[in-house]
A = this chain, B = another copy of it.
Amino acid sequence: MDNKFNIVLGKDISIKDATLVTSFPGVGLTSTIAANFIVDSLKMERIGYLLSEKLPPATVVQEGVPFHPVRLYKRDELMVLLSDFAIPIQLSSAISNTILHWRDDGEYFKMIVALEGLMTEPTQEEREIRVFGVGSTERARERLKEANIGIFDHGWITGASGLMLSEGNRLEREVICLLADANPMFPDARSAAKLVEAVDEILPEIRLDLKPLYEEAEKIEENIKSQLEKAKSMIAARQAPAERMTRSYMYG
């Protein structure tokens, strides 16, 4: 397996001194909602894609424009990597390596902040949404303490976020993973708001106005649900009778 994704950037972009926030679809789509909010409220510019032939073939249409599903956004020293696909587990290592070894003028990302949801036990739904953090280095763990974010002290973190953490620890690269309690059954914008708050506290150089997120929470959830519905239709369509027949006949 190739151990990298192709990075394709629209124009000459420097990542020097940049902090990268990453978001892959997870529990409650918390990280997806959070990353979209950051991109929108900071009016970040779409600057490129990560491409791999091993990703499922599909385009995401937004406002009539078709995009690759793993996209990069930038404003000043902040970058966001937003994937509309859950990265297949076999590609986790490739995407983690691509991000960690991305170099510009000999320099890597200054810091990586990976957003994740943490499945909340159903009985805990009424409780307050907690945000935990894991830091790859001493400095990263200090940042979490300064931001009053509780430490996720024991457990497993899977996927690219997990790999970036242990590689970050090994290579002394600053990686922080933020995990918010999230409802696994539906898009959870309240959880996303808590993640955004934590990002805001971790990155003092940006200032995010959370009011619209709380106010538009429902609208955002509806947009996402509707996109998921459309995706479902397309899937069903791709498996319509005629096609299914052709396919089963071919490899049957």
A112-139, CB < 8 A from B: 117-119, 134-136
Q: How many angstroms between the C-alpha atoms of A157 and B136 in the bound complex? A: 38
A35 smallest CB distance to B (angstroms): 14
Is the Cβ of A168 less than 8 Å from the Cβ of B66? yes
Chain B proximity mask over A152-174: 1 for CB below 8 Å, otherwise 0: 11111111101101111110000
A28-67, CB < 8 A from B: 28-29, 49, 53, 56-67
Give the residue among A134, A136, A245, A246 with the most B Cβ atoms within 10 A.
A246
Q: How many angstroms between the C-alpha atoms of A237 and B88 in the bound complex? A: 15
A148 at the interface (CB under 8 A from B): no
Chain B hits for A242, CB < 8 A: 25-26, 28-29, 86, 187, 228
Q: How many angstroms between the C-alpha atoms of A241 and B153 in the bound complex? A: 24
Number of this chain's copies in the complex: 5
Contact of A66 among B60, B162, B247 (CB under 8 A): B162
A108 at the interface (CB under 8 A from B): no
Chain B hits for A14, CB < 8 A: none
A207 at the interface (CB under 8 A from B): no
A94 smallest CB distance to B (angstroms): 8
Is the Cβ of A96 less than 8 Å from the Cβ of B57? yes
Is the Cβ of B89 less than 8 Å from the Cβ of A56? yes
A68 at the interface (CB under 8 A from B): yes
Is the Cβ of A246 less than 8 Å from the Cβ of B86? yes
Q: How many angstroms between the C-alpha atoms of A27 and B243 in the bound complex? A: 8
Contacts A57-B158, A63-B153, A64-B153 given; indicate if A252 touches B227 (C-beta within 8 A).
Answer: no
7 A–B contacts, CB within 8 A, in A order: A49-B170, A57-B93, A57-B158, A61-B155, A86-B246, A154-B226, A228-B242
Q: A26-B238, A61-B134 are in contact. List 4 more A-B contacts (CB 8 A).
A: A26-B237, A65-B141, A117-B240, A185-B240
